[in-house]
Amino acid sequence: MTSAATEHRYNRLTWAEMNDAIAMQKVVILPTGSTEQHGRHLPLDVDLFLAESVCLEAGRRAPDKILVLPPIAYGLNRHHIDFPGTIHIEPDVFIAFCLNILKSVAYHGFTHMLLVNGHGSNTPLIDLIARRVTLETDSVCGALGYFPLATEAFNAVKDTEVMAHADEFETSLYLHLAPERVQMDKAAADDDVRGKFVSSDSVYKNPVRFNDYWGRWTNLGVHGDPTTATPEKGKAIFEAAVNGLVEVATEWQNWPIAKRQDQHTGPVQSHIRW
């Protein structure tokens, strides 16, 4: 067997070794993130760096199950555009780009794929991408954020209530992975505007989904309180997210793809494409 048995990074394989990875039917993971403001204390790469780090470590621990694609560094971000450095990608462009990547993966013979997201506003987009890959290929694709995998662990160590953006959760995780890039002396708390049915960042249980321009309600670019973040909390978050993703991949790798059963009693126009 070639290094396909131990290599968890998609683009480190040769084309010949890729045939072995396909034969192993590894779960191919596409990390999705963003390049956007995260307050005055964190770099623009938070969503990208954290999501990719979780995926790569899961792959390192389970190379027989996981193959990680190069990540998507940009996402839907117009709501953060009032803050310098933020990059916004239109939803249709993001969907089409990711769909082309995963259809290529399916073409080569991989049957099980996952989108693992680190940017909240990509959530509805990756759901649509996963649905389309499943419906437009002979493979199956799932979508998830890495953060729910670590929520229980975070709840056990957190000191603040809001889990949103550049907050205790993200800052702690970044402190664990790359503390030299975090400027904790500039960390400060902020909150969004809340009503009975609406909040301006849609992270609560309000029934109305809404995400306003952040330049309308904050000049800091933070939603939550990063001041209590620690590397120790970040380690707990990281371990939970990585272990959770390995469990997800293990289940997903064995997910059956049953034969479709057409219930029509008459002929259908099978040439139609949507």
Residue that is written with structure tokens 């952040």 in the block: 214
The answer on pLDDT for 202 being more than 90 is no
Q: Could you tell me if 110 and 71 are in contact, meaning their C-beta atoms sit under 8 angstroms apart? A: no
Non-local CB neighbours of 45 within 8 Å, separated by 6+ positions:
33, 35, 73
The answer on pLDDT for 101 being more than 90 is yes
pLDDT above 70 as % of the chain: 99
Q: What's the pLDDT tens digit per position in 53-73?
A: 999 999 999 999 999 999 999
What is the domain partition of the chain in residue ranges? 3-253
3-state SS assignment for residue 217: coil
- Alpha helix (H) residue ranges in 9-136: 15-24, 46-61, 91-108, 123-136
Q: What's the pLDDT tens digit per position in 108-125?
A: 999 999 999 999 999 999
* Domain boundaries 3-253, corresponding CATH code: 3.40.50.10310
Phi-psi region of 182 (alpha: psi -120 to 50; beta: other; left: phi over 0): beta
- Looking at residue 19, its pLDDT comes to 98
The angle at the Cα of 199, spanning 198 to 205, to the nearest 5 degrees, equals 75
* pLDDT band for position 2 (cuts 50, 70, 90): low
